Chain A
Amino acid sequence: MTQNAPSISLGPADYPLSINHSELLRTPTGKALSDLTMDAVVSGEVTADDLRIAPETLLLQAQLADASDRPQLAGNFRRAAEMTAIPDAEVLEVYNALRPRASSKEQLLAIAERLEGHYGAAESGALVREAAEVYERRNLLARPEQA
């Protein structure tokens, strides 16, 4: 998904997107900002799933961050774009697995593979791989009886 970077090129003057570029914004369910009205909420046309951010939008915000000389913030947004596809419960699972001494190296690598393979989340997977390596060096993998 990160491969399909938006073709448009944004700079600081385009911010805030909700005001200057609402035409670029879609919910993950394909609705426009202007579709998210009170009437639509009341009628049930808009659900909690519509009030989420789309990966494409996070990549636009990453462009704005890069254009504002904030490469780390942009990187965070790119990982976030990948993670929009991961269900809430699994996000919490991965977070808990990354806690110190919570996982074996194999478990962390399996998570990285799932992130990369199943969700196409290359940058998030890389973060987990890096953690596995550092945890091994710093003795922060699960101790055998806890794994």
Chain B
Amino acid sequence: MTATQPAPSNRRTSRRTEILDSRPVNLDGFVEEWPEKGLVAMESDFDPRPSVRVEDGRIVELDGRARAEFDFMDTFIADHAIDVATTEASMAIPSDEIARMLIDPGVSRRDVLAVTRGLTPAKILDVVKLMNVVEIMQGMQKMRARRTPANQGHSTSARDNPIQVAADAAEGALRGFAELETTLGVVRYAPLVAIALQVGAQVGRGGVLTQCALEEATELELGMRGITAYAETISIYGTESVFVDGDDTPWSKAFLASAYASRGIKMRFTSGTGSEVQMGNAEGKSMLYLEIRCILMAKGAGVQGLQNGSISCIGVPGAMPGGIRAVAAENLVASMVDLECASGNDQSFSHSAMRRTARLMPQLLPGTDFVCSGYSGVPNADNMFAGSNFDTDDYDDWNTFQRDLQVDGGLRHVREDVILQVREKAARALQALFEYLDLPPITDAEVEAAVYANSSNDYPLRDVLADLKGAQSVMDRGVTGLDLVKGLEATGFTDVAENLLTVLRQRVSGDLLQTSAILTPAFVPLSAINDANDYAGPGTGYRLQGERWEELKKLRHVTSATNPETEVS
């Protein structure tokens, strides 16, 4: 490590330096690279050189390592992810040629996939290392699996208050999130909060998919019961030792992937740059190299998609030189091996609003399957994923970016009266359902609070111990998604019950298991099969136009052209 500079003593600082030093960006943490330990974004002399050798239909050498020396990641990737039939031919193509294919609109997505399915982790790294951020964005525009971009929201509560979660889920669904996710401060609250999320989401917009981030086995159980609709916190790691520290292996995770599919439940894995070095064992490899191993492991497991973009470790690549370029590259790699990509922007990233926005652009501008894998649909102080890059305070800024640049980030402006209406309905529906299920009562005062609240501080306090008992009873009694349908129907929330039943019925068809699937407001499954990305240059692919563009032209305050003395919204 280099020596630190001696602190200047008694030297007068300029007024300008004082001002700069007080800027929010200087509250962020930045550290030096330490490549020997893997504290480096994507350019490291310690990463392996690309190579592959096939004998008798089996990969016997991968990135300079012979099969006898394979760790379990090498083994899994060699045996499940890489196409043995084409790998030698694909690996023979120079990296700069593959990088050019990624940005050339004349080369179809399908033609690129024909090459990438034979590439090793080190070769993929070699390709994306040639690309600057603009080229990475060009690649993403073409390689994203679903033609129509979407967004995902978080709905959580610092007090794990289910009424807040329901009301904010309803508002988030109405504003446009295709998926909504929650998690807990106190894990035992999970059943009540997961129920609240599901009810709120189906009030806001029928067909929104929900999930509750928990330890793997519990997350699966809530999914099997139909209380949640998809799963995503199935973490994977790029080194064997960190994977084992997480108490899993590629085989346990592959089995889990099939377990979810066997219950008709949509699922994606989660990984991201920085997790291995954060957990102390990067084996001296760069963050992006290890992330590419994760991406190929996910591909080999046959899971349809991946949440990546550093995710909960964003502070690590964020502190490194070129770190945000590496994060954009990891999203591209997920897309260029044909996985659904829920592309981060889901964790508090910077004290600087400018830096937060800059970090978003490589995903917002080209569009990804889910631009945020968790835009905070609650104020960040209530975000139990420890904050997101964007929260409720930023809704109007986001809508303005979309309108300024004419890009679709998955959200829209909604009038206040409509928002208040769905918030109230969500709280009322949950109140009725709790009573039906004999859970701790929700008072009218709590419903009233939910309509006008911003944060958990605006709600009356719950009896936490009674709620935790209620939560346990949900598990003990074996309450299922169908019980929620019955309760909503019995208490007069017929349309919400119908929405939830339709979501549950999707399990029977399995349509949501295909790559990048979401449900439209008309309950049509939209995936990389029936909405395949067909970008082929200017004027092609997804274009923000027509009815959707008219919708995104609306903001809170727009002066009317007809009568400039009034505003339209």
Contacts and interface: CB of A to CB of B under 8 A. Distances in A.
User: Do A and B interact directly, with beta carbons closer than 8 Å?
Assistant: yes
A58 B263 CA distance: 10
Contacts of A53: 262-264, 507-510
Contact of A17 (B226, B263, B509): B509
Given A18-B506, A53-B508, A99-B249, A88 B221 contact: yes
Contacts of B524: 16, 19
A67 to B, nearest CB: 9
Contact of B71 (A50, A64, A138): A138
B252 interface: yes
B482 A41 contact: yes
Given A15-B530, A100-B247, A72 B510 contact: no
A81 B225 contact: no
Contacts of B532: 12
Interface stretch (B24-32, B94-102, B296-304, B420-428): B296-304
B463 to A, nearest CB: 30
Interface stretch (B380-388, B450-458, B497-505): B497-505
Contact of B508 (A38, A52, A86): A52
A46 B515 contact: no
Contact of B509 (A33, A42, A138): A33
A28 B494 CA distance: 27
A132 to B, nearest CB: 9
Contact of B529 (A12, A47, A101): A12
Interface in B112-158: 113
A75 B530 contact: no
A6 B244 CA distance: 39
A60 B264 CA distance: 13
Band of interface residues on B: 35 or more
Interface in B214-259: 216-217, 220-221, 224-226, 240, 243-244, 247-249, 251-252, 254-259
A77 B482 contact: no
B489 A41 contact: yes
B225 A48 contact: yes
Residue among A41, A82, A101 facing the most chain B CB atoms (10 A cut-off):
A41
A16 B505 contact: no
Given A16-B530, A54-B508, A94 B249 contact: no
B252 A99 contact: yes
Contacts of B220: 91-92, 95
B492 to A, nearest CB: 13
A51 B482 contact: yes
Interface string B472-493: 0000000011100110011000
A58 B508 contact: no
Contact of A98 (B72, B249, B529): B249
B528 interface: yes
B509 A25 contact: yes
B511 A18 contact: yes
A54 B508 CA distance: 7
Given A16-B530, A53-B263, A95-B259, A69 B113 contact: yes
B360 interface: no
Contacts of B286: none
A83 interface: yes
Nearest to A39: B489
A52 B497 CA distance: 18
Contacts of A79: 255, 258, 261-262, 302
A72 B302 CA distance: 4
B202 to A, nearest CB: 14
A134 interface: yes
Nearest to B485: A41
Given A94-B255, A99-B249, A127-B255, A51 B507 contact: yes
Contacts of A77: 261, 302, 510, 513
Nearest to B480: A48
Contacts of A104: none
16 contacts: A15-B511, A17-B509, A18-B511, A33-B505, A36-B508, A38-B498, A51-B507, A53-B509, A65-B514, A80-B259, A83-B258, A99-B248, A99-B252, A100-B247, A127-B258, A134-B75
Query: What are the 4 A-B residue pairs with the smallest beta carbon separation, nearest first?
Result: A76-B302, A80-B261, A53-B264, A131-B251
